[in-house]
Amino acid sequence: INATVAGGAGTNAKAVLKTRMLGGNPPDTFQVHAGWELTDTYVIPGLMEPLTDYLKAWGVYDKFPEGLIDIVSYQGEVYSIPLTVHRSNVVFYNKKLFNEIGLTKEPETWNEFINALEKVKAAGYTPLALGDKNKWPAGQLVENLMVAEFGAKNYNALFNGELSFNDERLDSSLEKMVQLMDYVNVDHAALAWQDAARLLYEDKAVFNLMGDWAEGYFKTLGWTPGEDFGWFELPGTQAVFVLVSDTFGLPKNAPHRENALIFLEYLASTRAQSVFNPIKGSIPARIDADPGNDPYLIETAEDFRTLIISPSIVHGSAAPEAFVTSFNDAVNNLVTTKNVNQAKQMILWAAEDVNLLTD
């Protein structure tokens, strides 16, 4: 590892990496989210080597789900090795406070969720912890509301060019985000995602919608899954797995290419995937790797095999980088002004700029 760049969700690292790649100074390999973050930024400009033949030579090509292989491929060639699979439509909660407040069941509908938030607010705790200092956590909330409002099939169709963004379900998604803002901590704009998650650990907040890297974070704080914290899917998204996958690719002109290939082969192994993922709070991308004995990860691994997969917007899987940036700006504007019409128009402009449907 020749460079470590701090920054929540890799915000700063992505900027450094892009500068190096475009400047002809690539690392041997790097972490990149599956989907458009990989293909639009690095594959289409011709900066990456295809890995299809290596995956087949290593005997692992068929060990990854077909849907995931599709997301890391471009024009029939695989360009990165999936290491982790995260789910980002998860609401984590503090079980002690949940029980003390008198909440008796995990919310399954939007009205049940709002009623639970109201009870928490009345009890004097922060109902929904949010840390959107880096914008994307608020965007992640909205993308999950979109999954709930559109349904997985129609949400996916937005990014396949089959459905227009100019849809009343986008309005209702944004309206629900405005509704949720009545329940978040007042200092949300000053906090990173892990600061918001820590509010649960400190018994200051009850709920937090976050990718399941938060599960790994809670465990580093000493919390036990199923005992100290629980989880459920954001109501309306129970049948959907909103996907974020960490992958590693091979840049052209990698300075130590052969060593990089050895490392990539190891990342594709069951050993690497079974050891690394439980620590991070993710499940293995390989379907034959062991997710460990963590009850959350076991449940999530089963959901990954059986549920509909929808790609995340804010983590670069669903749409090009230009759209992601503008989408996050639109949500940030919504959080600040609560102007649904303005936020929708900003999203429509963003979609139009990358040739997605808007009429």
Return the beta strands (E) in the chain as ranges. Answer: 30-33, 73-74, 77-78, 81-82, 84-87, 90-94, 126-128, 205-210, 229-233, 240-244, 246-249, 283-284, 308-311
pLDDT, tens digit, for every residue of 52-102? Answer: 999 999 999 999 998 899 999 999 999 999 999 999 999 999 999 999 999
Distance CA(190)–CA(135), nearest Å, equals 10
Fold observed for domain 95-242+316-353? D-Maltodextrin-Binding Protein; domain 2 (3.40.190)
The residues, ordered by sequence, that sit 6+ positions from 359 with a Cβ below 8 Å of its Cβ are 164, 166
Q: What is the pLDDT of residue 350?
A: 98
Render pLDDT for 238-271 as a digit per residue (tens, 0 to 9).
Answer: 999 999 999 999 999 999 999 999 999 999 999 9
**Fold agreement between 8-86+243-305 and 95-242+316-353:** yes
Superfamily of segment(s) 8-86+243-305: Periplasmic binding protein-like II (3.40.190.10)
Give residue-wise pLDDT tens across range 257-309. Answer: 999 999 999 999 999 999 999 989 899 999 999 999 999 999 999 999 899 99
Average pLDDT over residues 333-337: 98
Q: What pTM was computed for the model?
A: 0.93
pLDDT digits (tens, 9 = 90+) for 152-179: 999 999 999 999 999 999 999 999 999 9
**H or E element in which residue 43 lies:** none
The yes-or-no verdict on residue 3 having pLDDT over 80 is: no
77 class by beta-carbon count within 10 Å (0-12 exposed, 13-18 middle, 19+ buried): middle
Q: Enter the tokens of residue 187.
A: 């200092």
R_g over Cα of the chain: 20
pLDDT at 2 (0 to 100): 58
Domain-by-domain residue ranges, the chain?
8-86+243-305, 95-242+316-353
Distance CA 23, CA 276 (A): 31
For 180-229, what is each residue's pLDDT tens digit? 999 999 999 999 999 999 999 999 999 999 999 999 999 999 999 999 99
